[in-house]
Every structure is written in C-alpha cells, then in structure tokens.
Amino acid sequence: MRHFLKETDFSREEVAGVFATAAAMKQSRGRHTPPSLAHQSWGLLFFKKSTRTRVSFQVGVAELGGNPVMLNADELQLSRGETTSDTARVLSRYLHGLVIRCYEHSLLEEFTRFGSVPVVNALSDFLHPCQIYTDFFTLAERWSGDSSRYLESLKGKKIAFLGDTACNMANSFILGGALLDVEISLSGPAGFEPGEKIIDQLKQDKLSPTWSFTQDPAEAVRGADMVYTDVWVSMGMEAEKADRLKLMQPYQVNGALMKAAKSGAYFMHCLPAHAGEEVTQDVLDSPASIIFDQAENRLHTQKAILAHLGAANRG
Ligand code: CP
Ligand code: NVA
C-alpha cells in the first residue's frame, strides 16, 4: 500500500507525472476530470484548523468523483480516549482513503500501520508535503511553458526561506529541495536551525543536502529566485508566541529584503499570513507576490496526488 506522508514517498519521475497531471487538470477544470475516485469515500480527518487544505481536499475529492467525509478529530471517540489503532482499523472499514492533518507525524505512521487504506499527510508538525509540491508546481508554471519540463525548470534555482527554519514548511523545503535539486537557503534566529529529525530523514532517503543555514537574512536572499516565509508561530506553538515574535523580527520579509533578492524574484507564503509580522502588507500585495496562485494550485496538485496514489495502489 502506497501512502503520501512525505515528499520522498514519490520518486522524481512520479513528481514529474503528478505535475503534468495537475497542469492538465487545471486546464480542463469544469469540463472534464478523470473520475479517479469514483465510488470511493475519503475521510478528511483534521486535528488542527485549516482553510485551504480542508476546502481544497473536499472540493478535490468531489471533483474526482469521490465522496469527501469531513471528520473533526474533536468530534470522534478518539478525543474521549479511543486508541489511534482502533480508529484506523474502524475507519478503514468505511473509507477508501484518509487525508489527515495532525500534530505528531508518528500519528500518520500509526494510521498506515493499523489501517488498510492510503493515508495522505495534510500537514504534521514535521512536514507539509502537499504544500511543497504545490509551491514547486506554482514556480515551475512560471519558469516553464511546458509541463513535461517542469522539473528541469526548477533545477539549480535558489529559494530563500526566512523566519522559523525549524518548522514543518522549512523541513519540507529541505526534503523537497534535495529531491528536486533546488538550493534552499534558510535564515532564522539561533535556536531555530533545522533539527536532527529532518537531517536524519535526508540520510534515510539517501539524498544529498541542498540546504544551508545563516543567521543573516540578507545573505540568504542574495541571488534568490524566490523568497518564502511562513508564520512565526505555527499551530501548537502558541505558548512561545511572545518570544518568537521578538526573536524573528529581523527576518521579516519587507520591501528592502525583496530588493536584495534576484531581480524578478517571486514572493511566496503558504498562508495564512500575519501582515506586519513575518511579512509586510506591501510585499503581500506586490507584483512579485504569487500567494493566491499558490493557494489555488493546492486544489490541482492535490487532485493529481490523489489520482496518482490511486493508480499506484491499483498497480
Ligand atoms: N497553507 C495551508 O495549509 O493553509 P490552511 O492551514 O488554511 O490549510
Ligand atoms: N507552519 C504552519 C503552516 C500552516 C499552513 C503551521 O504549522 O501552523
């Protein structure tokens, strides 16, 4: 059984296929979508808040001919002590697949161990692979007119990621960047460097690192083709809010920092954004900002991921 818990669960060749499918689905949306999930019900199980992921998966499953079943973790017996293993076994009797947003990444792994249906990571504290595939797809769309050459258009490009460089998005850039040969230059305060877990993951996947870390944001953005940031206080980190806002202030993406990047560099953010914290409103609204293309592309990319997973599991 194939799952999609991390960037490297698909090979480079499979990512190329997912991107081509996403481009085709984007083009033909509203006219024709192959009904990859016909006669299937997929559970969308959320332990954390979500706007984009939740709605784009709900719409995406339906557009692929499937029945999306929204499951708020607070409303399941899980929240009253039923075990993850029993929940995984029970849900597998009703559903054909599960999309899960959670805290510990190990919960996703537990679902794959005890359940018998494919599991898709809709964000864990460790990784956000659906977002990173979307982000690379969004850039490739800009850098290549030909969807069969999307991966080539990414090769050797430089991305600067500023702020909380120990968060799930930074980890996903580290892993996705190594998979697709993209240089990832991370910059954040001391104490927020990428952790052991992501370094071990690269080793496990036998990938050469393409990332570097500096505390100097100007150095990180120099020569960057795209500048990225994410919230300074990820879901679950609220207790550290005051400290984080203070420590990360020098890493705010503002007009001056964008000017220090390569001319024509894009600005991206997975959203939700906190204007005035990790990014200024003028950068969010600038022509360099492609944040809403990014948000839209979640739908197309995730539909392609689901279709690919279905095909891979059919063999
Ligand atoms: N980018 C993202 O995952 O957004 P949501 O938290 O709204 O799903
Ligand atoms: N790092 C953020 C991403 C939100 C999409 C979080 O985990 O809250």
Question: Can you give the CATH number for the domain in which 285 is found?
Answer: 3.40.50.1370
Give which of 200, 189, 313, 286 is closest to 244, Cα–Cα. Answer: 189
Indicate which ligand has the atom closest to the C-alpha of 170. 2
19 and 80 in a common domain? yes
CA of 315 to the centre of ligand 1 (A): 31
Question: What Å distances lie between residue 2 and 8, 124, 162, CA to CA?
Answer: 12, 18, 33
Out of 96, 105, 128, 308, the active site residue is 128
Residue linked to tokens 């001319």: 263
Cβ atoms of residues 303 and 25 within 8 Å? yes
pLDDT band at 315 (very low <50, low <70, confident <90, very high): confident
168 lines ligand 2 (CB under 6 A): yes
168 and 262 in a common domain? yes
Q: Can you tell me the distance from the alpha carbon of 315 to that of 297, in angstroms, rounded to the nearest whole number?
A: 27
Q: Is residue 1 part of a domain?
A: no
Per residue in 224-234, pLDDT (tens digit) is: 999 999 999 99
152 and 121 in a common domain? no
281 and 226 in a common domain? yes
Count of the separate structural domains present in the chain:
2
- Does the active-site annotation cover 2? no
300 and 251 in a common domain? no
Domain containing 35: what range?
A: 7-127+295-314
- Does the active-site annotation cover 89? no
Average pLDDT over residues 259-286: 98
Q: Is residue 56 part of a domain?
A: yes
CA of 294 to the centre of ligand 1 (A): 11
Spatial neighbors of 258 by CB under 8 A, at least 6 apart, are 221, 227, 265, 267, 283, 286, 288
Per residue in 54-104, pLDDT (tens digit) is: 999 999 999 999 999 999 999 999 999 999 999 999 999 999 999 999 999
Share of the chain above pLDDT 70, in %: 100
pLDDT at 230: 98
Q: Can you tell me the distance from the alpha carbon of 120 to that of 108, in angstroms, rounded to the nearest whole number?
A: 8
Q: Is residue 252 part of a domain?
A: yes
What mean pLDDT is reported for the chain? 97
- Does the active-site annotation cover 300? no
Indicate which ligand has the atom closest to the C-alpha of 54. 1
pLDDT at 25: 97
pLDDT surpasses 90 at 32: no
Out of 3, 298, 300, 308, the active site residue is 298
248 and 234 in a common domain? yes
CA of 314 to the centre of ligand 2 (A): 32
132 lines ligand 2 (CB under 6 A): no
From atom 8 of ligand 2, which residue's Cα is the shortest distance away? 234
115 and 175 in a common domain? no
pLDDT at 34: 87
Indicate which ligand has the atom closest to the C-alpha of 231. 2
- Ligand 1 atom closest to the Cα of residue 235 is 6
pLDDT surpasses 90 at 145: no
Average pLDDT over residues 242-257: 98
From atom 1 of ligand 2, which residue's Cα is the shortest distance away? 234
Other CB atoms within 10 Å distance of the CB of residue 236: 12
121 and 137 in a common domain? no
pTM: 0.98
pLDDT at 33: 84
pLDDT at 66: 98
pLDDT at 304: 98
146 and 42 in a common domain? no
Testing ligand 1's pocket by substitution, the residue of 271, 290, 293 carrying the most ligand atoms inside 8 A of its CB is: 271
166 and 117 in a common domain? no
136 and 117 in a common domain? no
pLDDT surpasses 90 at 4: yes
252 lines ligand 1 (CB under 6 A): no
Per residue in 67-80, pLDDT (tens digit) is: 999 999 999 999 99
CA torsion sign for 36, 27, 273, 162 is: positive
185 lines ligand 1 (CB under 6 A): no
Q: Is residue 2 part of a domain?
A: no
268 and 141 in a common domain? yes
- Ligand 2 atom closest to the Cα of residue 234 is 8
Q: Is residue 207 part of a domain?
A: yes
- Does the active-site annotation cover 29? no
pLDDT at 176: 98
